[in-house]
Amino acid sequence: MGSPYLLSQVELKPGDLIEIFRSCYQHWAIYVGDGKVVHLAPPCEHPMDGVASVLAALSDRAYVKKDWLEDVVRKDRYRVNNKHDETHPPLPISKIVRRAEELVGREMPYNLTSHNCEHFVMELRYGVAMSDQVTEAIAMGTVGVMGVAAAVIRSMAQRRKHRKE
């Protein structure tokens, strides 16, 4: 495989999931052929928008767009990531691409935890809307909260111990 930033179009197949590594999140698109991808983009997913991820969190709508892969990727690293093929058989490629193309131009609900760009492409490829980013963030949040709780409890126990001495 070539550079981690650019894959040749020969390596990309219609229906492939493209994971794009933004500064603090991953944007997802689905390859539909001829150098183009379909993706769900909040109004703030623009090339020059450095606060896109913050503004996306505030948005409740997004648009299905068909763009050149290189325009969506910009200077970010990306890869093909059909990560659930083992557990969720992909739909037929013709159906994936047809469904993606039919949605182009539509406004859709957007929510970071239930209707984001990863949910969108997973539903196109597998027929199931899912987002590992959300699952991992929730798990990390839970671990973080548990860690803070453990630290507070430990601190309180140490204070009691010192008071008794």
CA distance 144 to 41: 29
**How many beta carbons lie within 10 A of that of residue 29, not counting itself?**
27
Name the 3-class secondary structure at 38.
Answer: strand
Helices (H) and strands (E) in the chain, counts: 5, 6
Kindly name the residue from 24, 39, 44, 162 that is annotated as catalytic: 39
Q: Is 117 a catalytic residue?
A: yes
Return the sign of the alpha-carbon dihedral for residues 84, 85, 90, 93. positive
Q: Amino acid identity of 144?
A: G
CA distance 116 to 147: 28
Kindly name the residue from 84, 115, 117, 119 that is annotated as catalytic: 117
Kindly name the residue from 24, 27, 115, 162 that is annotated as catalytic: 27
Q: Is 39 a catalytic residue?
A: yes
Catalytic positions are 27, 39, 117
